[in-house]
Amino acid sequence: MDRILKIFKIKDLRNKVFFVLALLIVFRVAAAIPVPGVDLVELKRFFQNNQLFGLISTFTGGGLNSFSIVMLGLGPYITASIIMQLLTMIFPSLEEIYKYEGEAGRRRFNQYSRMLTVPLAMLQGYGFMVLLSRQGVITNLDLFGWINSLMIITAGSVFLMWLGELISEKNIGNGVSLLIFAGIVASFPTEISQTIATYTSGQFFTFIAFIAIALVVIAGVVYLTEAQRNIPINYARRVRGNRVFGGVSTYLPMRVNNAGVMPIIFALSLLLFPGMIANFFSTSSVTILASISRFFSIFVQNQMIYNSFYFILVVLFTYFYTAVTFDPKSISENIQKQGGYIPGIRPGQPTAQFLLHLLNRVTLVGAMFLGLIAILPAIVQSFTGITAFTVGGTSILIVGSVVLEIMKALDAQLSMYEY
């Protein structure tokens, strides 16, 4: 309570909090504005019969459920970011811009991601429109109506990207994570009411088990989100004139879940994009192309196969994102420049190898944890049979991680103002 009072006593920090809240309200309003020409009754029926698209809609803030102007959410922007990160491994010039040109290079790199977002949003938007038109959701649209709706959907995705960056500039959390967080939290009341409405006396013990699993998941998410391996660092004592520097011991924190929620968000975006392409080409006049697309669509709709690929992608993206954010070589060089060393390990290359070895072992635990959390909804559904309100491990992970991130960001801001 004291912390909250301190936030609202500081004018600048209070303005930042209100600004972020206002943008989240704008996002929720936009998620309720439907694109013209949609049969909302057929749309509701489609999502009731398709759990995969229901999960996707959760991460777009429910915008897909109402076929809103922001129905794609931040999916195209996240996909563009993934593609750009992967391209740094192929093109050394892009890697140099991202890693070695400082803040100006990162701004330039982010600009390329924004530019790539536009064609991806158009492609994903058109794929969704084609899919829903085949289901009878989109009716009475001529060519101009299709173009108009596609432009609205693309503009909505770009608008959300802009909102996310405005939020990030206030240093109260990552804008992308906060928008996804807002969408997940907004869906909780509806899902809880649906769960209560479907409750029967014979499901009492099932619901008790359901609640117990939810509590265990929340506890596990908080524990592993905060868990870290502390690597001891000693600094050599240096004498300059009459003054003594160094001679202290500290530690380098290596988080178990160093990648946060981004691997899950990346994996979902990557699974969504090929599915849209397959749906688009499933009625192609080219027989081979249509057959491959239909096979891929059936392949994705198989829950066992889908969850297996989902798990593998989350594990791979955890290693990938950790490698991008935690560079053992540069950390080793920085420790050596400051006169530090890890006890029992020689400075330089041996330190980098030691950090890489530890990073791989610690990341394995985090990657397996994230992968299990990602497929937990399917596991819980198979044991409890409850589908109205799934213990979305992914949702809980995102909500818990974002709340912890906001708390840390606000603490850092408060500390800065106090000093």
Contacts of 264 (CB under 8 A, 6+ apart): 314, 317, 370, 373, 374, 394, 397, 398
Residue 70 tokens read as: 């922001």
Q: pLDDT at position 391, please? A: 45
pLDDT at 301: 65
H/E element holding 301? helix 287-301
Say how many CA atoms lie within 13 Å of 72 toward its Cβ: 35
Residues 6+ apart with CB under 8 A from 397: 221, 225, 261, 264, 370, 373
Assign 171 to helix, strand or coil: coil
Q: pTM for the full model?
A: 0.72
User: By the 8 A CB rule, do 307 and 316 touch?
Assistant: no
Q: Which of 38, 64, 78, 40 is nearest to 183 (CA)?
A: 64
Handedness of CA 31, 37, 40, 45 (dihedral sign): negative
For every residue of 320-374, DSSP letters joined together read HHHHHH--HHHHHHHHHHTTEE-TTS-TTHHHHHHHHHHHHHHHHHHHHHHHHHH
Identify the residue whose tokens are 């991806």: 120
Q: How far is 312 from 315, CA to CA, in rounded Å? A: 5
Looking at residue 129, what is its pLDDT? 80
Q: What local confidence, expressed as pLDDT, does residue 4 receive?
A: 72
Q: For residue 337, what pLDDT is reported?
A: 80
Q: pLDDT below 50 — which residues of the chain? A: 388-389, 391
Cβ count within 10 A of residue 32? 14
Domain 201-419, architecture per CATH = Orthogonal Bundle (1.10)
